[in-house]
C-alpha cells in the first residue's frame, strides 16, 4: 500500500510546499509515521518537484521519471517497526484466543474482542518508545551515539515515561479498532464459510472478511485517528521549532476544537483515503497470515506423521529381528 501514500504526499507537497519544521503524517496502511521537515532543499523524497494533475498522473510520472523504487520511498522505517509490532500482536492474539477457548468454549463470541484488545494494548505499549525514537531519526540523520544521547537526555529530563509520548491517542484509536476488527472478522469468516458450505475458510474468504471488517473498524475509529494526527503533528512541530508546547492538546480538547471549527463532519476528515488504504491492507495482512499459518500447520502435521511412521516402522523391524 506504500505507493498510494507516496503519491498522496507528493501531491500535498506540490500544492503546499513543506517548509522547515513542517510535520506531515506518512501512513501506508500498516503503520503511521510522523515526518518532520528539517532541510529546505529538494533532495528528500517528499520534496522532489513535479507537475502532477492527479493521482494516476502522479503515479505514472513518478514511475517514468524516477523509477519504480521511488514508489516505495519511506518504507524502511515501516519494516523496522512492523516486524516487532506484528510479532507481538499476532502471537498475543493467537495464544490468548487459544487460552480463552479452552476456558470458555469454542463458540464464545467475546473471545475475539478480549484477545484483540489485550494484544493491541500490549503491542502499542511495547512499541511506543521505538515509535518515538524512529520519529526522531526520521527528522534528520542521527549516529547511534547521538541517538543514545537523545534517549538519555529525554529520560534524565522527564523520566522513562517520556518515551511513551503519544501513547494515549494511539491506544484510543488502535484498541477499539482491534476489538471491532477481530470480532467482525471472526463473525464474517464463520458466516461466509456456512454460506459456501465449507468447513475451513479459503484465501478469498479470509481476504473478504479482512477487507469488510477493516473498513467498518476504520470508519468507527476515524475520529480518534484525526485527533491523534493533529496532536502528534502539533507536538512535533512545536518540538522541532523549540517552542513551548501549548497546554490545550488533550484528546478531548482537540476533538471539541475540530467540531467547533469544522462541525461533526470534521472528525471524519480523510475517510475515503483511509478506507482505500485500510481495507486492502487489512485484507492482505490477514489473508496472507492465515495462509502462512495453515501452511505451517500442515507442515507440522506431516512432520509428526512422518516421525510416527518412522517410529512404527523401526519397532516392526525390531520385532521381526527378534
- What pLDDT score was predicted for residue 186? 92
Has residue 246 got a pLDDT over 60? no
Chain segment 300-310, per-residue pLDDT in tens: 998 888 888 77
Chain segment 13-59, per-residue pLDDT in tens: 666 666 666 666 666 656 666 666 665 555 666 666 667 777 788 88
SS3 33: strand
Beta strands in 37-158 (DSSP E): none
Average pLDDT for the chain: 79
Other beta carbons within 10 angstroms of residue 225's beta carbon come to 26
Distance from CA of residue 29 to its chain's centroid? 6
- What pLDDT score was predicted for residue 144? 63
**Higher model confidence: residue 151 or residue 202?**
202
- What pLDDT score was predicted for residue 270? 74
SS3 35: strand
Has residue 73 got a pLDDT over 70? yes
For CA atoms 250, 256, 258, 261, the dihedral sign is: negative
Rg (CA), the chain: 24
Other beta carbons within 10 angstroms of residue 239's beta carbon come to 18
Has residue 68 got a pLDDT over 70? yes
- What pLDDT score was predicted for residue 164? 80
SS3 219: helix
Rounded CA separation 163/130 (Å)? 8
- What pLDDT score was predicted for residue 94? 92
Q: Which pLDDT band, with edges at 50, 70 and 90, does 179 fall under?
A: very high
Chain segment 204-223, per-residue pLDDT in tens: 999 999 999 999 998 988 88
- What pLDDT score was predicted for residue 289? 92
- Phi then psi for residue 294, to 5 deg, are -65, -40
Nearest by Cα to 163 from 133, 142, 139: 133
Tell me the C-alpha to C-alpha distance, in Å, between residue 313 and each of 155, 299, 310, 322: 62, 21, 5, 14
Chain segment 151-174, per-residue pLDDT in tens: 788 788 778 877 787 677 778 878
Rounded CA separation 68/7 (Å)? 12
Q: Kindly state the helix (H) or strand (E) to which residue 124 belongs, with its residue range.
A: helix 111-139
Nearest by Cα to 26 from 65, 77, 62, 70: 77
Amino acid at each position: 500500500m506504500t505507493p498510494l501514500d507516496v503519491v498522496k504526499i507528493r501531491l500535498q507537497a506540490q500544492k503546499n510546499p513543506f517548509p522547515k519544521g513542517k510535520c506531515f503524517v506518512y501512513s501506508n496502511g500498516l503503520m503511521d509515521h510522523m515526518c518532520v521537515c528539517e532541510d529546505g532543499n529538494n533532495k528528500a523524497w517528499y520534496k522532489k518537484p513535479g507537475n502532477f494533475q492527479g493521482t494516476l498522473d502522479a503515479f505514472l510520472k513518478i514511475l517514468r521519471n524516477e523509477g519504480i523504487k521511488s514508489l516505495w520511498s519511506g518504507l524502511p522505517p515501516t519494516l523496522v517497526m512492523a516486524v516487532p509490532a506484528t510479532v507481538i500482536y499476532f502471537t498475543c492474539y493467537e495464544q490468548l484466543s487459544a487460552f480463552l477457548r479452552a476456558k470458555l468454549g469454542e463458540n464464545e463470541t467475546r473471545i475475539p474482542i478480549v484477545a484483540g484488545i489485550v494484544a493491541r494494548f500490549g503491542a502499542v505499549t511495547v512499541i511506543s518508545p521505538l515509535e518515538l525514537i524512529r520519529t526522531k531519526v526520521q527528522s534528520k540523520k542521527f549516529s547511534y551515539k547521538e541517538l543514545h544521547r537523545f534517549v538519555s537526555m529525554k529520560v534524565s529530563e522527564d523520566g522513562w515515561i517520556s518515551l511513551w509520548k503519544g501513547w494515549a491517542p494511539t491506544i484510543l484509536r488502535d484498541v477499539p479498532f482491534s476489538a471491532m476488527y477481530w470480532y467482525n472478522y471472526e463473525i464474517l469468516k464463520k458466516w461466509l464459510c456456512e454460506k459456501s458450505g465449507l468447513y475451513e475458510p479459503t484465501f478469498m474468504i479470509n481476504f473478504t472478511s479482512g477487507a469488510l471488517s477493516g473498513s467498518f473498524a476504520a470508519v468507527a475509529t476515524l475520529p480518534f485517528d484525526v485527533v491523534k494526527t493533529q496532536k502528534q503533528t502539533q507536538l512535533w512541530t512545536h518540538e522541532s521549532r523549540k517552542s513551548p508546547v501549548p497546554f490545550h492538546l488533550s484528546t478531548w480538547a482537540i476533538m471539541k476544537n475540530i467540531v467547533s471549527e469544522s462541525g461533526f463532519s470534521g472528525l471524519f476528515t480523510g475517510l475515503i483515503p483511509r478506507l482505500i488504504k485500510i481495507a486492502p491492507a487489512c485484507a492482505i495482512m490477514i489473508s496472507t497470515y492465515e495462509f502462512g499459518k495453515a501452511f505451517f500447520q500442515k507442515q507440522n502435521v506431516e512432520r509428526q506423521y512422518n516421525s510416527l511412521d518412522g517410529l512404527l516402522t523401526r519397532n516392526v523391524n525390531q520385532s521381526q529381528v527378534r
